[in-house]
C-alpha cells in the first residue's frame, strides 16, 4: 500500500478537519496524545498527517510534499495553486466581507483605501465594480486599520462577526462564501489514484451525513 501524505491546517479548523478524517475511517490516535509533534502516521491505514499553517497547505500540496490537504477557498482564490479541488467539506464556513466603521460611507471618498491580507481577491472584487482603490497589504489584525485611520475599509473573513463587533466595525458588503476544500496534488492524483479516491469518497459520505 502506498502511504498518503496529508497536510492538515493547524488551529480551530484543523480539529474539525481531523475529526472528519477520523469518522471516515482514517484515524491516527497518536495525534491526540502529543500537541507539539507535527507528524503522525497510521501505517495500517497507509496515512501520514502533518500540521501546517493553514495558508501553507496549498504550497505543500502543489509541490507534492503532501498528496492531499485541506485548504480554505479563500487561500485557493488568493494564491491560485495548481492543484485539484476534490470536495467541499462544508466546514469552516465564513464570508469574505468589506467592513468599516459604522459611520463610514463609501461615497465620501474618491479613492477607497482598503486594508487586507487578500490582495488578489480584493483587486478582483473592486475591479469588477470599476472602483478605484489603494490597497494596503497587512498580515494580521486587519481590524485595526480603519480604527487608526490607516484605511477606510477592510476586506477580511468574517465568521461569527465577534471580532468586528468588539472593535466597533460592521459588515458593509458580504461578497464571497468560503469553506474548507479537500485538495490534491496533480501527479499524486494520477499515481495514488485509488488511495485518494477512497479517502475522497469516504469524506464525501461524511459531508452528506453532516448535511
Ligand atoms: C480571522 C479574520 C478575523 C476573524 C474573524 O482571523 O481575519 O480577524 O478570523 O472571525 P469572527 O468573525 O468569528 O470574529 P484568524 O482567526 O483566522 O486569524 P489571523 O488574523 O491570524 O488570520
How many whole angstroms separate alpha carbon 45 and alpha carbon 6? Answer: 12
Can you read off the three cell numbers belonging to residue 140? 494580521
pLDDT tens, residue by residue, 95-129: 999 999 999 998 888 999 999 999 999 999 999 99
Q: Which residues line ligand 1 (CB under 6 A)?
A: 140, 142, 156-163
How many whole angstroms separate alpha carbon 29 and alpha carbon 67? Answer: 21
How many whole angstroms separate alpha carbon 102 and alpha carbon 41? Answer: 49
pLDDT at 179: 98
pLDDT at 55: 94
For a pLDDT cut of 70, what percent of the chain falls above it? Answer: 100
Q: Identify the segments of the chain with pLDDT beneath 50.
A: none
pTM recorded for the entire structure: 0.93
pLDDT at 32: 82
Q: How many Å lie between the centroid of ligand 1 and the Cα of residue 197?
A: 32
Q: Give the DSSP H/E element, type plus range, for residue 210.
A: helix 193-210
Report the relative pairing of strands 68-72 and 94-101 from DSSP bridges. unpaired
Question: To test ligand 1's pocket by mutation, which of 158, 168, 169 has the most ligand atoms within 8 angstroms of CB?
Answer: 158
How many whole angstroms separate alpha carbon 29 and alpha carbon 45? Answer: 12
Q: How many Å lie between the centroid of ligand 1 and the Cα of residue 155?
A: 12
Question: To test ligand 1's pocket by mutation, which of 118, 163, 171 has the most ligand atoms within 8 angstroms of CB?
Answer: 163
pLDDT at 123: 98
pLDDT at 88: 98
Counting Cβ atoms within 10 Å, is residue 55 exposed (0-12), middle (13-18) or buried (19+)? middle
pLDDT at 146: 98
How many whole angstroms separate alpha carbon 99 and alpha carbon 96? Answer: 10
pLDDT tens, residue by residue, 151-167: 999 999 999 999 999 99
Spatial CA neighbour of 24 closest among 179, 190, 182, 178: 182
Amino acid at each position: 500500500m502506498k502511504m498518503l501524505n496529508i497536510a492538515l491546517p493547524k488551529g480551530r479548523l484543523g480539529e474539525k478537519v481531523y475529526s472528519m478524517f477520523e469518522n471516515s475511517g482514517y484515524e491516527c490516535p497518536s495525534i491526540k496524545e502529543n500537541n507539539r509533534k507535527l507528524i503522525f502516521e497510521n501505517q495500517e491505514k497507509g496515512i501520514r498527517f502533518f500540521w501546517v499553517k493553514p495558508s501553507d497547505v496549498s504550497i505543500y500540496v502543489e509541490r507534492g510534499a503532501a498528496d492531499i490537504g485541506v485548504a480554505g477557498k479563500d487561500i485557493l482564490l488568493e494564491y491560485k495553486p495548481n492543484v485539484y479541488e476534490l470536495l467541499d467539506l462544508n466546514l469552516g464556513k465564513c464570508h469574505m466581507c468589506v467592513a468599516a466603521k459604522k459611520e463610514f460611507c463609501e461615497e465620501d471618498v474618491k479613492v477607497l483605501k482598503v486594508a487586507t491580507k487578500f490582495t488578489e481577491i480584493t483587486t478582483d472584487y473592486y475591479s469588477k465594480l470599476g472602483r478605484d482603490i489603494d490597497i494596503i497589504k497587512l498580515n494580521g489584525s486587519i481590524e485595526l486599520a480603519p480604527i487608526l485611520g490607516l484605511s477606510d475599509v477592510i476586506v477580511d473573513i468574517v465568521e461569527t462577526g465577534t471580532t468586528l463587533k468588539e472593535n466597533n466595525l460592521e459588515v458593509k458588503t458580504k461578497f464571497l462564501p468560503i469553506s474548507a476544500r479537500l485538495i490534491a496534488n496533480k501527479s499524486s492524483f494520477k499515481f495514488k489514484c485509488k488511495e485518494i479516491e477512497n479517502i475522497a469518497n469516504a469524506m464525501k459520505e461524511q459531508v452528506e451525513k453532516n448535511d
